[in-house]
Amino acid sequence: MTNTFHARLINKDNFDPGLYLRFTHQKSAILFDLPDLSNLSPKEILRIEDVFVTHTHMDHFIGFDQMLRISLGKDKTINIFGPEGIIENVNGKLKGYTWNLIENYEGELRIVINEIMEKKKKVAIFSSKKAFRKQSEASFYNTGKIISNHPNYKVYVSILDHLVPSLGFMLEERFRINILKEKLHELKLRPGPWLTKFKHAIYEDKEDTELIVVKQEGIEKHVERCFTLGELKQNIAKITSGARIVYLTDIVGSEANIEQIVKDFEYCDVLFIEAGFLAADKDYAKRTFHLTTIDAGRIAGLLGAKHLHIFHHSFRYKGKDAVLLDEVLRAYKAFCKESPES
């Protein structure tokens, strides 16, 4: 995907949603939607720190229980971002279990719910040390479309219509740091954990005088060299603009939705988008508030997507992936001159 992260659809073969995004050289990951997580290993699930839920229909939210079960007893925080009503959705799930022994678990699992609405958001916290009783809830006015802000990326939201509010998401890298391997070799530097520290220092806008300790290639482990951040930036790194990844599913292909997507996201490099129904079955799409292949291709074209991945088709199209993709690409070309990579 990029040198910063790897993204994959986790349920494409069974037509369900879910995008898992793992950060390179880090132990953290994020998840778009909470579907059946059986295709993720426990280790992959434990990496998840942030979850972005489009809406809470069962196929987009049933994985909450799997994530909860694997995370119990761990000392960690899971941040969940979702549409209006998600605080009570989570509260209801947590109330469905008996927690009389949970306070004795060694680690504290904290679940922070961010409920996103047009003009405000609500935040609620649930802790295993308090038997997952809702500890606090606060409301804040929205100040823009950014709902999650990290040193190396931001996540934007678009509130769309699926007969209920359904959220579209865009992850934007702040910038991309490419390590020049030939320069490492010239300086006889070993790749290692110091590279992650080096990248973090750049993302965190540390001063160029910040010192970075580096192991030297071919020399005993205790022999190290010291560089300033500025020296390493100049010699071993190429910094380029970051990529934009958009995730869209379970929305109706209305003019209002399409206009809102383009207004909120403007453009993207990589698009993951549902293509629920072929154009010939547009009446089914309309009745179920889903996108057709034509809608998906049009949105991809308007966003100028360079890489395109379609998913979440109706089961009636089993074995017809190529037919679906062909219709999407033909619609894409009508709205964008360049062909995306699928």
Query: Do 167 and 185 sit in the same domain of this protein?
Result: no
Query: Do 37 and 145 sit in the same domain of this protein?
Result: yes
Number of domains composing the chain: 3
For 283, the domain range is 251-342
Query: Do 29 and 143 sit in the same domain of this protein?
Result: yes
Last residue of a domain, one of 197, 218, 241: 241
Per-residue pLDDT of the chain in tens (342 residues, 90 and over written 9):
556 789 999 998 888 999 999 987 678 999 999 999 999 999 999 999 999 999 999 999 999 999 999 999 999 999 999 999 999 999 999 999 999 999 889 899 999 999 999 999 999 999 999 999 998 889 998 878 999 998 889 999 999 999 999 999 999 998 888 888 888 888 888 787 888 888 888 888 888 888 888 876 565 556 778 888 888 888 888 888 889 999 999 999 999 999 999 999 999 999 999 999 999 999 999 999 999 999 999 999 999 999 999 999 998 999 899 999 999 999 999 987 566 776
Query: Do 162 and 18 sit in the same domain of this protein?
Result: yes
Last residue of a domain, one of 134, 151, 172: 172
Query: Do 230 and 115 sit in the same domain of this protein?
Result: no
Q: What is the 3-state secondary structure (H, E, C) of the chain?
A: CCCCEEEEECCHHHCCCCEEEEECCCCCEEEECCCCCCCCCHHHHHHEEEEECCCCCHHHHCCHHHHHHHHCCCCEEEEEEEECCHHHHHHHHHHCCCCCCHHHCCCCEEEEEEEECCCEEEEEEEEHHHCCCEEEEEEEECCCCEEEECCCEEEEEEEEECCCEEEEEEEEECEEEEECHHHHHHCCECCCHHHHHHHHHHHCCCCCCCEEEEEECCCCCCCEEEEEHHHHHHHHEEEEECCEEEEECCCCCCHHHHHHHHHHHCCCCEEEEECCECHHHHHHHHHHCCCEHHHHHHHHHHHCCCEEEEECCCHHHCCCHHHHHHHHHHHHHHHCCCCCEC
Q: pTM for this one?
A: 0.88
Query: Do 143 and 285 sit in the same domain of this protein?
Result: no
Domain of 98, CATH number, reads 3.60.15.10
Query: Do 262 and 192 sit in the same domain of this protein?
Result: no
Query: Do 151 and 183 sit in the same domain of this protein?
Result: no
In a domain, 246, yes or no: no
Last residue of a domain, one of 222, 241, 260: 241
